[in-house]
Amino acid sequence: MNTMSKFKDAYETQGYVLIPSCVSDIDSLRAASERVITKTRSGQWPYRRTVGRQFPPFGEDESDSWGVQHVMHPDLEEPIFSQWYTSDDLIDVVKDLLECEESELQMELFNMLINPESHDFALRWHRDDVRENASEQEERAALDVWHHGVQWNTALYEDACLYVVPGSHKVPRTPEQRSHSYTMEAPKNPLDMPGSIQVILKPAETVFYNSNILHCATYSRLAKRATLHASMGSILGGSSRARNVLQHGLNWMTEPRFGAGLNERGRGMLARLVKMKEGTGDVGYSLDG
């Protein structure tokens, strides 16, 4: 079995896979990240994830941030992010994991997850697009559908924030797992969840995952985090990606100046996203809180 088919096998059976080599220029990505983090923490960049809100829509009041939204936005003037998002380093992996052609890939989210500065924070156990109060039947129906998107975290510094339950992307929760994920509260100890593991990424490592894997995360104000957090989908899923992606507010991507700054591959991927967006009404939000 070649390396990529081993990765793909792990991704399919476990719902996640660690890949060491999707970043060739970590220094430039780190430098751009530092500039963007500074803008976010100083209030110059309004699109951020605020402490106290786990899922979109994120509030504006809290001053502490645990994420920077829309790092490819032209107002940030950091073209390295879209260059990397459309690079062979990533596209080759994503195509294989999604089992699609490059001409079917659609541009989606690209955010960054950072440590809050003055509060510890955490996300409860969840699947990104299935509510915690879904019945076993509803959960099974949602998980049985082939997932036409992949999400990833690429660590620019060591990152031990994320926890997952391997294999849970395909099966409903056991009653015990349900009791740990029915609450809106973040867990005191994530490893109390039956079957859970902590995902530890070394700098430049990436975890690709099915965002409907059962997962949670904890954020310490004392552990530096700058982790690129992105997703890509394939058009084969029709509008099945719409809510997951569009709830983050992507109107800025339809401005001509964004497309003008992309390479040809990026413009094709963007055009496919815009087409999906045009065919979709109000998507609402996947999760509360």
Smallest gap from Cβ 6 to ligand AKG, in A, equals 24
Does 124 bind ligand AKG (CB under 6 A)? Our answer is no
Smallest gap from Cβ 70 to ligand AKG, in A, equals 14
126-155 positions binding ligand AKG, by CB under 6 A: 128, 153
Residue selected from 68, 76, 123, 130 as contacting ligand AKG according to rule CB under 6 A: 123
Of the two residues 220 and 286, which places its CB atom closer to Fe ion in the complex?
286
Do strands 16-19 and 206-209 pair parallel, antiparallel, or not at all (unpaired)?
antiparallel
Q: How far apart are CA 254 and CA 275, in angstroms?
A: 10
How many residues of this chain bind ligand AKG (CB under 6 A)? 8
Measured from the Cβ of residue 26, the count of other Cβ atoms closer than 10 Å reads 15
Q: How far apart are CA 270 and CA 278, in angstroms?
A: 12
Amino acid 11 reads Y
Smallest gap from Cβ 150 to ligand AKG, in A, equals 14
Sheet containing 105-114: give its strands across.
Answer: 16-19, 206-209, 149-155, 226-234, 105-114, 65-68, 48-50
With contact defined as beta carbons under 8 Å apart, do 171 and 139 qualify? no
Of the two residues 57 and 279, which places its CB atom closer to ligand AKG in the complex?
57
Chain residue whose CB lies nearest ligand AKG: 217
Smallest gap from Cβ 287 to ligand AKG, in A, equals 8
β-strand partners of 275: none
167-206 positions binding Fe ion, by CB under 5 A: none
Q: Which stretch binds Fe ion (CB under 5 A): 71-79, 114-122, 126-134, 253-261?
A: 126-134
200-219 positions binding ligand AKG, by CB under 6 A: 215, 217
> At what angle are helices 3-14 and 88-98 packed, to 10 degrees?
60
Task: Write the burial class of residue 74 (CB in 10 Å: 0-12 exposed, 13-18 middle, 19+ buried).
Answer: middle
Smallest gap from Cβ 216 to Fe ion, in A, equals 8
31-90 positions binding Fe ion, by CB under 5 A: none
Of the two residues 82 and 153, which places its CB atom closer to Fe ion in the complex?
153
User: Per-residue string for binding with ligand AKG, 154-183, x by CB under 6 A?
Assistant: -------xx---------------------
Residue selected from 104, 128, 159, 205 as contacting Fe ion according to rule CB under 5 A: 128
Smallest gap from Cβ 151 to Fe ion, in A, equals 8
Chain residue whose CB lies nearest Fe ion: 128
Of the two residues 70 and 124, which places its CB atom closer to Fe ion in the complex?
124
Residues that bind Fe ion (CB under 5 A): 128
Residues that bind ligand AKG (CB under 6 A): 113, 123, 128, 153, 161-162, 215, 217
